[in-house]
Amino acid sequence: MRRLWREAPFLTAGLTVALLVAAVFAVRLVSGMLYWADPRHQDMPIAPWMSPRFVAMSWDVPREVVIEALQMVPDGEGPRPLERMAAERGVPVQVLIDDLEAAIAAWRMAHPDE
């Protein structure tokens, strides 16, 4: 390693940074796989603190199902919990949860083997 550093310090630094970035993504990938493989995180009851992405991941439905159920419009604001979305719309959060549960049930009925 010292020889590499002496002969090409910038390339060695670049390689080191690239390896560190790859390691960070590998750790994130493995931790995500372990989290979602745990049966406790699958089909969790929908709660106000959950984001639409979390619901889609937990219930193993396409993102589009959740987006359509919540009538989401891309606004570039990033992930928001259901309770915040309900407050912005001026509706009880249970309305959003009921819409999600109905959409998920319909999607699962239409796609029983997925």
pLDDT digits (tens, 9 = 90+) for 83-104: 999 999 999 999 999 999 999 9
Is 7 in the same domain as 20? yes
Q: Is the model's pLDDT at 113 over the cut of 90?
A: no
What mean pLDDT is predicted for residues 17-23? 97
Q: Is 96 helix (H, G, I), strand (E, B) or coil?
A: helix
Write the DSSP string, 1-67. -HHHHHH-HHHHHHHHHHHHHHHHHHHHHHHHHHHHHSGGGSSPPP-TT--HHHHHHHHT--HHHHH
Is 59 in the same domain as 32? no
Closest CA to 50 of 4, 17, 97: 97
pLDDT digits (tens, 9 = 90+) for 36-87: 888 888 899 999 999 999 999 999 999 999 999 998 877 767 788 999 999 9
Q: Is the model's pLDDT at 107 over the cut of 90?
A: yes
Is 10 in the same domain as 65? no
Is 16 in the same domain as 50? no
What mean pLDDT is predicted for residues 18-42? 93
Q: Which domain holds residue 101?
A: 41-110
- pLDDT of 50 reads 94
Is 18 in the same domain as 54? no
Residue 20 sits at φ, ψ, to 5 deg, of: -65, -45
Please state, in angstroms and rounded to a whole number, the distance separating the CA atoms of residues 26 and 9: 25
Say if residues 55 and 100 touch (Cβ distance below 8 Å): yes
- pLDDT of 78 reads 73
